[in-house]
Structure 1
Amino acid sequence: MVHIRPLDVSDAPVLATAYTANWPFLAPWDPVRPDAFFTPAGQEARISGMLADRAVYPCAIELDGDVVGTITLTQIEYGPAQSANLGYWVAQAVNGRGVATKAVAEIVEHAFGVLGLHRIQAGTLAHNHGSQKVLANNGFERIGTARGFLFIEGRWQDHILFQLVNDDWQPA
């Protein structure tokens, strides 16, 4: 069973191990990471920083109780925008099994329900068809291409941008 839950600093050792084990699989999609990123101390510092930032909502993705990835809302903005950006990854061993699709569905429910957001945006590398399918399966619509959006694998790479809008949201 797939479930998301808020990250905790106690997740640092598990995430350090997961990132290290999955780095060959994740590297084509992620920015270059410093060596410290792959250590429990590096993950603890990263998680602590995210938890201290009110504009970030970081979660672990669990499958049958084991952490198999993360999913995070960033740049959470209230006021007229009521929006956030979405990012996620899952371990290679569970890739293609619907784990990311279910995790995205769960965080969307939380974002639109508990957090009261109106819009979620996500970007994928132009050639990341698997992630694009995850977003499409959750009702995200393609809104355009951001040229040179992120520095991945040593070069600026284009991303396809998607959004999901909660048309039922109304200000209180």
Structure 2
Amino acid sequence: MIKPSQLTPSVELRLATVDDAAALADAYTRSWDHLARWEPARPADWFTPEGQRARLTSILESFDRGTAVPLLLAEDDRIVGAVTLSDIVPGPFRNAHLGYWLAAEAVGRGLMTLAVNAAAELADTELKLHRLQASVFVHNAASHAVLERTGFTQIGFAPNYLYIGGRWQDSNLFQRILNNRAPGA
């Protein structure tokens, strides 16, 4: 069971539900000018409650299969960000990809550092993972800083890694080793 984590007195990191669809659509709409340079092109329904409901239904099915954990940063009745553990692999790898975004109005408050640390703790203690990995555009200094503050180390460079903003962009690759337990321990 994924328990909510109180990041600050007003911000909670919690598991997403389909009931978050309208608030998530609102968050993307409010912050798209801020997020667009880091995100792939999105269809028009991405910004609607219906589109987000379909997306949440899909990722929650992945959660039920044990391959993803979609977390939201909620402040009062608004969504101000998300952290997702995806492509979770059990067995000898025990790894997940980490992705995250923060709404424009939440930037500069230290929230993503708190959220990534909380997600890493969850990955270690609840999911029993060994490692998290993340990729970050080489020009995304804020995201590099979040990963460095939360114990990630750069392990590589991936040229032409993601097609965002109408071009292939380079990324730096990071990992955080959570523990050295044997699988099943």
Q: Structure 2 length normalisation: TM-score? A: 0.90
Deviation, 1:167, is 3.3
Residue of structure 2 equivalent to 1:110: 122
Aligned counterparts of 1:65 and 1:18: Cα–Cα separation in 2: 11
Which amino acid is 2:142 matched to?
G
Asked whether the equivalents of residues 63 and 99 of structure 1 are also in contact (C-alpha less than 8 Å), the reply is no
Pair 39,65 (structure 1): closer, same or farther in 2 beyond 3 Å: closer
Please report how far the alpha carbon of residue 160 of structure 1 lies from its aligned counterpart in structure 2 after TM superposition: 0.7
- The residue number in structure 1 matching 2:19 is 10
| CA offset digits 1:107-158 (Å, max 9, x no partner) | 0000011000000001111100000100100000001111111110011111
Shift of 1:94: 1.2
In 2: Cα distance, 1:63 partner to 1:15 partner:
12
Equivalent residue, structure 2, for 1:135: 147
- 1:72 correspondence with 2:81: no
Identity, in percent, stands at 45
Corresponding residue number in structure 2 for 1:38: 47
| Matched AA of 2:144 | Q
Superimposed CA distance per residue, residues 82-111 of structure 1 (whole angstroms, 9 cap, x where no aligned partner)? 000000001111112101000001000000
Match for 1:14: what amino acid?
A
Partner of 2:108: 96
Distance in 2, matches of 1:103 and 1:139, equals 13
Deviant stretches of 4+, over 4 Å: none
Give, in whole Å, the separation in 2 of the partners of 1:70 and 1:93.
14
Match of 1:29, SS? coil
Aligned ranges 1:154-165 → 2 under 5 Å: 154-165=166-177
Listed as ranges, the matches of 1:121-132 within 5 Å are 121-132=133-144
Contact 1:29–1:152 (CA under 8 A) maintained in structure 2: yes
CA RMSD of aligned residues (A): 1.1
Q: Distance in 2 between matches of 1:46 and 1:94?
A: 23
State how many pairs are aligned. 172
Q: 1: CA distance between counterparts of 2:166 and 2:160?
A: 12
Q: State the TM-score, normalized to the length of structure 1.
A: 0.96
